[in-house]
Amino acid sequence: MTAAGFVPPPYPYERLDGLLTIAGALPGGAVDFSIGTPIDPPPAAVVAALSSSGSERGYPPSVGSAPLRAAIVDWISRRFEVTIQPDAVAACVGTKEFVGTLPQWLKLRTPEKDTILYPTVAYPTYEMGAILAGCQPVPVAMTPDGRLDLDSISPNDADRALALWVNSPGNPTGACDDLGAVAEWGRRHGVPVFSDECYVEFIWDGPPASILQHGLDGVVAVHSLSKRSNLAGARLGFYAGDPELVDYLQQVRKHVGMMVPGPTQAAGVVALEDDVHVGEQRERYLHRLQRTAEILGAWTGTRVPLPAGAFYLWFEVGDGWAFAEKLAAEGGAIVSPGEFYGSQSANFVRVAVVQPDDRIELIAQRLGVA
């Protein structure tokens, strides 16, 4: 049978297979800085909780268990000094699925609107979620310092918008946005704002900042334990904010079986209650960012800037694919061409510092800048 409809595009990172082969041929193999996948261990108590809660037998609550929601509320209060009720927070199976499915739930609820606004240079799933829902993905221009250029949004796009995504600190740029201004824009235009804050524990030049600090009305913050607690494999995220929006989303998501496994929920409670491991992880990433920037700066003869947040180096190289190929061949390092994050950033590359120090030093040796 032939199908005439949607053909899924190639998954971005699978386009790097050729580079992995080139880099893999070097003694010591490829050093993969492409996907932002954590490699460091979660705390032992978190791993132990995965096997001791007894929650694997029955179906877990889609919205999140009472202890998990209490731990989320407590973390939000500790981190952001914001008080939120447990029924204004809900669990998701990692945040990628939340980002990728949100537009269809919003469209069902407000069928007269059809547009999803998201940053021009961004995590690709904001656009893909809109496409999967049959919505219009409309990228929002960014200021030179990596913030949403809210004034550039046309009145027509604002009228038709089901949601505006903001991501702070942002992937790939690491820039931090003015979340108060974004919340205010959303309220003024009647557009719900979804603030992806999965890198919030990794802000390098200021305190953790959430859109929730600017009032709950019309905003939802989206968080993940993947990066904070190195739990990407266990799959746990949550969303919190406007009680009415959170309630609608948790109700609709329940019908499609969006359930975080019970053992993961139990582990999430232990992880959220502990901040010590987050401090340790911050030190690891900061060190790797500094050292990798030094190595690549020495190799290219340019200054590789450090980000304001998150754990990516993002810098201009001329042609992102050509740079990635050269680095794979000479250094055995795999980085992501900027094109993965939007057509306007083809001359950038993104380097995720998710490799241990000895592998980073191997790159320095291969490039002759140790």
Sheet holding 161-167, edge to edge: 89-92, 237-241, 219-224, 193-196, 161-167, 115-119, 136-140
For position 328 contacting ligand PLP by CB under 6 A, the verdict is no
For residues 333 and 327, give the distance between their C-alpha atoms in angstroms, rounded to a whole number: 6
For ligand PLP, which is the closer residue by CB, 351 or 364? Answer: 351
Q: Which tokens go with 294?
A: 């030094």
For position 103 contacting ligand PLP by CB under 6 A, the verdict is no
For ligand PLP, which is the closer residue by CB, 38 or 186? Answer: 38
For position 224 contacting ligand PLP by CB under 6 A, the verdict is yes
For position 239 contacting ligand PLP by CB under 6 A, the verdict is no
Report the residue from 62, 65, 104, 167 that binds ligand PLP according to the rule CB under 6 A.
Answer: 167
Angle at 39 between CA 35 and CA 44, to 5 degrees: 145
Q: Give me the least distance between CB of 328 and ligand PLP, in Å please.
A: 21
Secondary structure (3-state) at 361: helix
Strands 348-352 and 115-119: unpaired
For ligand PLP, which is the closer residue by CB, 226 or 336? Answer: 226
E runs forming strands in the chain: 31-32, 89-92, 115-119, 136-140, 161-167, 193-196, 219-224, 237-241, 312-316, 333-334, 336-337, 348-352
Report the residue from 237, 262, 307, 309 that binds ligand PLP according to the rule CB under 6 A.
Answer: 237
Q: Give me the least distance between CB of 232 and ligand PLP, in Å please.
A: 5
Secondary structure (3-state) at 30: coil
DSSP state of 63: T
| Residues 112-131, interacting with ligand PLP (CB under 6 A) | 123
Q: Give me the least distance between CB of 310 and ligand PLP, in Å please.
A: 8
Secondary structure (3-state) at 312: strand
Q: Give me the least distance between CB of 196 and ligand PLP, in Å please.
A: 5
| Residues facing residue 117 across a β-bridge | 138, 164
For position 345 contacting ligand PLP by CB under 6 A, the verdict is no
Strands 336-337 and 348-352: antiparallel
Task: Tally Cβ neighbours within 10 Å of residue 216.
Answer: 22
Q: Could you give the string, one character per residue 188-217, with x where binding to ligand PLP holds by CB under 6 A and - elsewhere?
A: --------x-x-------------------
Strands 89-92 and 237-241: antiparallel
For position 32 contacting ligand PLP by CB under 6 A, the verdict is no
For position 60 contacting ligand PLP by CB under 6 A, the verdict is no
Q: Identify which range of 19-27, 91-99, 141-149, 246-254 contacts ligand PLP by CB under 6 A.
A: 91-99
Strands 161-167 and 193-196: parallel
Q: Give me the least distance between CB of 111 and ligand PLP, in Å please.
A: 27
Could you give the residue ranges of the DSSP H alpha helices within 119-275? Answer: 125-132, 155-160, 179-189, 225-228, 243-254, 262-273
Report the residue from 53, 62, 95, 336 that binds ligand PLP according to the rule CB under 6 A.
Answer: 95
For ligand PLP, which is the closer residue by CB, 71 or 364? Answer: 71
For ligand PLP, which is the closer residue by CB, 93 or 362? Answer: 93
For position 253 contacting ligand PLP by CB under 6 A, the verdict is no
For residues 281 and 288, give the distance between their C-alpha atoms in angstroms, rounded to a whole number: 11
The residues of the shown chain that bind ligand PLP, judged by CB under 6 A, are 36, 94-96, 99, 123, 167, 171, 196, 198, 224, 226, 232, 237
